[in-house]
Structure 1
């Protein structure tokens, strides 16, 4: 498959869009529950309906208001060749990850995504991001790397944020599906019915600037903090 060297929206970019948003793209996200494993262990998540509600809340009140805004901000900075403020953006993302495990999960998946994009696609903007963050002693959080890669690969802003949100939801639902008796049909139904939520979350991410990034899901933040004290764990976070 030919890798485009310019920012275009042709068929090559569409195929790349499918590739980077696929669950098989090596980020390690399948190892992270972001606190949901704690809620399953404690009984708060116990059925397909409760799993769906918690996953939707995680996306709407956590990802959309925090990482989603960071994706768009990183995309715009890269698109307009204004990457000098990436360090500040990464600091904001890290500061909003209250739980240590969630913070580490974001950085680990970001590092894996950066390495894959650098080695597979040879994106100059990814090299610049990697160099600048290493010089600042900062970790490459997933949302920021995804935004940079989206611009570098020629995706539109809408494509970039929607695929980030969809792949985030798809990954977390799949993780929950491994921890609960949740069938593949339930998983696919949850994803299908989340389309309006994806649109809403994308609009939130695109309409707010990075100064308004926040995390509005204290219950999941607290669950993430309790995760490391579980007696048994299948997920890293």
Structure 2
């Protein structure tokens, strides 16, 4: 498992009480705003947090439209594949990298990661969705928490130094709120998966209990994907779910749509 092992003098995001144990950075229970980290984590991963992810299916609506997904079992299989072969090696890995760059105050690194995230999204709708939800997260982070990291990211986006993809914004916000790297990546994976299941639930006959069973069953895989994401190098960011990329490309030509992407 790749962990930040070097602490330099450029540490504006270090908080009182931050320590290192066996080369692993640990943070105090309180976040940088003086609030409980657990409560902040629950807030930013709540479906009510204003990011707009509930309006994006990332191509799944196409599969539901053409009957590629017809029941709960097929929905679960596709969602799990998306988690493992798209999210873990792509956006979640970018979250970890963005977290470290913000922690080390390397905003140039943030721009590089942001560009790579955009490059691995093959469909226009996937890229736009990532930027739209990232922009919403940056705006919410500024208005609700007023954190230095998210403010600086907003300034970079305004200067067109980066697009502000959702993964980058989540990494920056989590750094400012004092989450650990593992908390950041694991919560991103879980929230993203839970959100997608919620979207699929609205588009197909899938009951609330069945949807929550899918979310509960994926817990061990989320932990595994978190480890994959946190050991991924920038040059190895990837998405190996080509069939979903094609579905995303076809989505913008559907005659009727409930989701943006």
Provide the TM-score with structure 1 as the length reference.
0.95
1:119-153 superposed Cα distances (whole Å, 9 cap, x missing partner): 10010011111112322353210000000111110
Aligned residue in 1 for 2:242: 218
Aligned residue in 2 for 1:119: 143
| Structure 2 residue 29 is matched with structure 1 residue 10 | yes
Aligned residue in 1 for 2:208: 184
| Structure 2 residue 80 is matched with structure 1 residue 61 | no
| CA–CA separation in structure 2 for the residues paired with 1:83 and 1:231 | 42
> Is the Cα contact below 8 Å between 1:165 and 1:198 reproduced in 2?
yes
Structure 2 SS opposite 1:136 = coil
Instruction: Return the match for 1:172 from 196, 199, 203.
Output: 196
Provide the TM-score with structure 2 as the length reference.
0.87
| CA–CA separation in structure 1 for the residues paired with 2:61 and 2:108 | 37
| Structure 2 residue 63 is matched with structure 1 residue 44 | no
Query: Which runs of 5 or more residues in structure 2 are unaligned?
Result: 1-13, 19-26, 31-35
**Number of matched pairs:** 234
Query: Which runs of 5 or more residues in structure 1 are unaligned?
Result: none
- Aligned residues: CA RMSD: 1.4
Structure with bigger gyration radius: 2
Larger RCO (CA under 8 A, 6+ residues apart): 1
Structure 1 SS opposite 2:175 = helix
| CA–CA separation in structure 1 for the residues paired with 2:161 and 2:250 | 28
Q: Which runs of at least 4 in structure 1 moved beyond 2 Å after TM superposition?
A: 5-9
> Is the Cα contact below 8 Å between 1:9 and 1:155 reproduced in 2?
no
> Is the Cα contact below 8 Å between 2:102 and 2:110 reproduced in 1?
no
Aligned residue in 2 for 1:87: 111
| Structure 2 residue 217 is matched with structure 1 residue 198 | no
1:26-62 superposed Cα distances (whole Å, 9 cap, x missing partner): 0000100000000011111000000000011111100
Q: Shift of residue 23 of structure 1?
A: 0.6
